[in-house]
Structure 1
Amino acid sequence: MSFDVFVSRFQNGEPATLDMSAAHGVLDPYAVVRDPETDFLLVSTAEGEEAGVYFNEPLRIGHRSGDGP
């Protein structure tokens, strides 16, 4: 199965900018591939799940592999 998750932020009901440095801080330890030119990370878990993360507005996380939901 394949799916994408889009992450957006709102403040007082209005669109607000995401803190991409915070997102990088959380995901960088799990990165197995980095493309600084496109601001892309491929992250992997110990269970073998992988996801591509695109750091733009909105932040997009695309499930890539594994047997999980």
Structure 2
Amino acid sequence: MNASQAPSGFVLCFCRLQDGNQLYAFPCDARGNVDMDSLSERARNNYLYARALMGLQTTWPAVRRSA
């Protein structure tokens, strides 16, 4: 699931450990803080899932400028 453009211009990206392909991206600020209250229920669940799998199935997140 890819989140829509972040108002701040940044997204927090989680990639698949096996091949490095992006799995999830969530709007965040420049420091990588995600406002969970602004996410839909599905996005919030995906965010928590991606965080729980860091180092197991997903990489540690990276802050990137949104396109």
Higher RCO (CA < 8 A, seq sep 6+): 2
Q: TM class, shorter-chain normalised?
A: under 0.3
> Larger % of helix: which?
2
TM-score normalised to structure 1 length? 0.25
Whichever of the two has the greater Rg, that structure is 1
TM-score normalised to structure 2 length? 0.25
> Larger % of strand: which?
1
